[in-house]
Amino acid sequence: MRQPLSRELSNLLERGRDRQLRLAVTGLSQAGKTAFLTSLVNQLRHAGVEAQLGLLPAAREGRLLGAQRLNQPDLGVPRFPYDPGMAALRDTPPRWPEPTRGISELRLQLRYRPARSGWLTPEIAHLTLDLFDYPGEWLLDLPLLQHDFYSWSQAQALHEGEQRRGLFSEWLTAVEQLDPAGEADESQLAALAEDYAQGLRRAKQAGFSDLQPGRFLLPGELEGAPVLQFFPLPQLTDSKATLEALPANSLYATLSARFRYYQQQVVKPFYRDHFRRFDRQIVLVDVLGALNAGPERFEDLSQALRQLMHSFDYGKRSLLTRLFTPKIDRLAIAATKADHVTPDQHGHVVQLLEALLAEPLKDLRFANVPVKALSLASIRATEAREVVHEGKRSPALRGTTLEGEDVLVYPGDVPARLPTGDFWQQQGFDFPSFRPMPSNSEALDHIRMDAAIDWLIGDKLS
Ligand code: GDP
């Protein structure tokens, strides 16, 4: 067996020759990460044969010869479930792949013919691509690092939306009765932490995204561990100094210690061991889903994205730059499930995504991180059609709903700017979820996956 040191060394050498790339896919849950990574692996494996990748020059020119799976280098990270995902899509009727819930990895080796020729250029070259998938919820925890328990509790108390408060009502009533100076009762803490986690899960289900701590929603291997048994105290009336002088066995000191442990032992290690090592990233956003869900959730998504994007803010004084030197050199931001709207609306989807992320995009450009916004469908589940009504042609979509009903719909116009009150009142937006389409081709049908692949790795295949 090879020693870990020599593996590290050979990894380093590969990287030095610019032939290894670590590419990470993230997004909030339901954004479409699992579908995207399944499709990405599928397209690369079938590049050069069935895959339709006209927007990727190496494929268009016939130079991309295909991809092979290799054993992944990080033995502690679960393998991305590509085969089960493909099996679900090939089932009768086809099903969406089961979403991943933590970090996972898959290593591919791409074979291609370099475009340039020269005496130093080999005829066939390889690119080792390490693909990662991790929950965007984990990035919502970055801002938590700049808080102490006191300021975090206060920040959590700012979520005043009526619908959102309703989802936490039982927990809020119970927490209001607690005395921060009282002795901590383990079983009560565990029960209240579970109530809080349930509130977060309900909020997630209702379409809210700005939810902390992220691991309460997707605990991965930490399921049931005491490090997750804490919650904010939104009703603190005493001064910070008074609270911090309370004895170690008090409720306040116990919650505060767990909060610190979560910061040091859960949040920081993810950034240090994984995030810091990614070369490129794509952030997926379900803009259309939020548009479908209504104004309060759309606003919540916008807030969550602003927070999530702080992890890519490499400005000199950013929290991240103080933790380590970030190295990603390229970022893509993609609105997923573009097959939920008619093709004439795709331009608006990108404009809306850019409007939603206007501030973070400005910061990224200022920090000189190349970034591209696009819209795509990883796995196309609808067909674009035209309907003629009273002599007038209009675009429509044909697909099969999750319940198995064949439908022909016009989901609505996508606003090119952030929707205002008028949009929600007058127009709205409505579409069903579709089932993946059955297909005989090895390669999955998609919209603009090739454009995304070109931006993310195209330069390494020239
Ligand atoms: P994850 O939680 O980010 O991994 O999200 P998934 O990849 O599991 O996607 C969540 C759901 O979104 C899927 O079950 C599908 O219903 C839907 N979805 C994802 N990608 C697409 C797509 O390209 N087209 C359509 N129509 N639906 C999609």
What atom in ligand 1 is closest to the CA of residue 399? Answer: 26
Q: Are 210 and 277 in contact (CB under 8 A)?
A: no
Q: Are 255 and 138 in contact (CB under 8 A)?
A: no
What are the tens digits of pLDDT across the range 344-367? 999 999 999 999 999 889 888 888
User: Hey, how many other C-beta atoms are within 10 angstroms of the C-beta on 164?
Assistant: 19
Q: Are 369 and 332 in contact (CB under 8 A)?
A: no
- What's the pLDDT at 97? 97
Q: Is 381 in the pocket of ligand 1 (CB under 6 A)?
A: yes
CA–CA distance, 108 with 453 (Å, rounded to integer) = 14
What atom in ligand 1 is closest to the CA of residue 379? Answer: 23
3-state DSSP helix/strand/coil % of the chain, to nearest 5 = 45, 15, 40
Give the confidence band of 403 by pLDDT, cuts at 50, 70, 90. Answer: very high
Q: How far is CA 451 from CA 201, 227, 236, 424, in A?
A: 34, 42, 50, 32
User: Which is nearest to 152 in space by CA: 15, 267, 298, 28?
Assistant: 267
* DSSP class per residue in 373-390: EEE-BSS--EEEEEEEET
What atom in ligand 1 is closest to the CA of residue 376? Answer: 23
Query: Is the pLDDT reported for residue 112 higher than 60?
Result: yes
29, 30, 397, best to mutate for ligand 1 pocket (most atoms within 8 Å of CB): 30
> 23-27, 162-166, 305-309: which has the minimum mean pLDDT?
162-166
CA–CA distance, 62 with 60 (Å, rounded to integer) = 5
Burial class (CB within 10 angstroms; exposed 0-12, middle 13-18, buried 19+) of 1: exposed
What atom in ligand 1 is closest to the CA of residue 38? Answer: 7
Instruction: Report the b/e string of 346-379 with b at 16+ CB within 10 A.
Output: bebbbbbbebbbeebbebbeebebebbbbbbbbb
Region 125-129: mean pLDDT is 94
> 59-73, 151-165, 221-235, 329-343: which has the minimum mean pLDDT?
151-165
Distance 432 CA to ligand 1 centre (A): 13
Nearest CA, atom 9, ligand 1: 32
Highest mean pLDDT, choosing among 190-194, 226-230, 308-312, 385-389:
190-194
406-409 vs 392-400, strand pairing mode: antiparallel
Residue with tokens 């054993």: 71
> 126-135, 324-333, 410-419: which has the minimum mean pLDDT?
324-333
CA–CA distance, 229 with 248 (Å, rounded to integer) = 16
What are the tens digits of pLDDT across the range 239-258? 999 999 999 999 999 999 99
User: Hey, how many other C-beta atoms are within 10 angstroms of the C-beta on 407?
Assistant: 14
CA–CA distance, 261 with 453 (Å, rounded to integer) = 39
What are the tens digits of pLDDT across the range 172-196? 999 999 999 999 998 999 999 999 9
25, 26, 29, 34, best to mutate for ligand 1 pocket (most atoms within 8 Å of CB): 34
- What strands, in cross-sheet order, belong to the sheet with 330-335? 64-70, 104-112, 125-135, 20-27, 280-285, 330-335, 371-375
Task: Indicate the residue type of 160.
Answer: E
Q: Is 102 in the pocket of ligand 1 (CB under 6 A)?
A: no
89, 337, 374, 409, best to mutate for ligand 1 pocket (most atoms within 8 Å of CB): 337
Q: What length is written for the chain?
A: 462
- What's the pLDDT at 13? 54
Region 208-219: mean pLDDT is 84
Distance 265 CA to ligand 1 centre (A): 31
- The region, left, alpha or beta by phi > 0 then psi within -120 to 50, assigned to residue 366 is alpha
Q: Is 339 in the pocket of ligand 1 (CB under 6 A)?
A: yes
The DSSP element (H or E) to which 268 belongs, if any, is helix 268-273
What are the tens digits of pLDDT across the range 405-446? 999 988 888 999 999 888 888 776 778 899 999 988 999 999
Query: Is the pLDDT reported for residue 115 higher than 80?
Result: yes
End-to-end CA distance of the chain: 35
33-45 helix and 82-89 helix, angle to the nearest 10 degrees: 90
Region 313-332: mean pLDDT is 74
CA–CA distance, 216 with 382 (Å, rounded to integer) = 34
Distance 434 CA to ligand 1 centre (A): 10
Q: Is 96 in the pocket of ligand 1 (CB under 6 A)?
A: yes
What atom in ligand 1 is closest to the CA of residue 36? Answer: 7
Nearest CA, atom 11, ligand 1: 30
Distance 355 CA to ligand 1 centre (A): 23
- What's the pLDDT at 7? 61
What atom in ligand 1 is closest to the CA of residue 35? Answer: 7
Q: Could you tell me which residues come within 8 angstroms of residue 8 by beta carbon, excluding any fewer than 6 positions away? A: none
Give the confidence band of 140 by pLDDT, cuts at 50, 70, 90. Answer: confident
Residue with tokens 């397209």: 43
- What's the pLDDT at 2? 45
- What's the pLDDT at 6? 64
- What's the pLDDT at 5? 58
Tokens coding 191: 């029960």
Region 96-111: mean pLDDT is 94
Q: How far is CA 118 from CA 114, 121, 127, 414, in A?
A: 10, 5, 18, 49
Query: Is the pLDDT reported for residue 96 higher than 90?
Result: yes
Domains and CATH numbers, the chain: 14-138+275-380+438-461 (3.40.50.300), 140-271 (no CATH)
- What's the pLDDT at 297? 83
Task: Indicate the residue type of 414.
Answer: V
Task: Indicate the residue type of 54.
Answer: G
What are the tens digits of pLDDT across the range 28-50? 989 999 999 999 999 999 997 88
- What Rg value do the Cα atoms of the chain yield, rounded? 24
- The region, left, alpha or beta by phi > 0 then psi within -120 to 50, assigned to residue 448 is left
What atom in ligand 1 is closest to the CA of residue 97? Answer: 8
Considering the chain, what is the average pLDDT of its residues?
88
What are the tens digits of pLDDT across the range 9-21? 655 555 445 589 9
- Give φ, ψ of 170 to 5 degrees: -65, -45
- What's the pLDDT at 136? 92
> 248-252, 304-308, 378-382: which has the minimum mean pLDDT?
304-308
Name the residue with higher pLDDT: 80 or 204: 80
- What's the pLDDT at 211? 84
Q: Is 45 in the pocket of ligand 1 (CB under 6 A)?
A: no
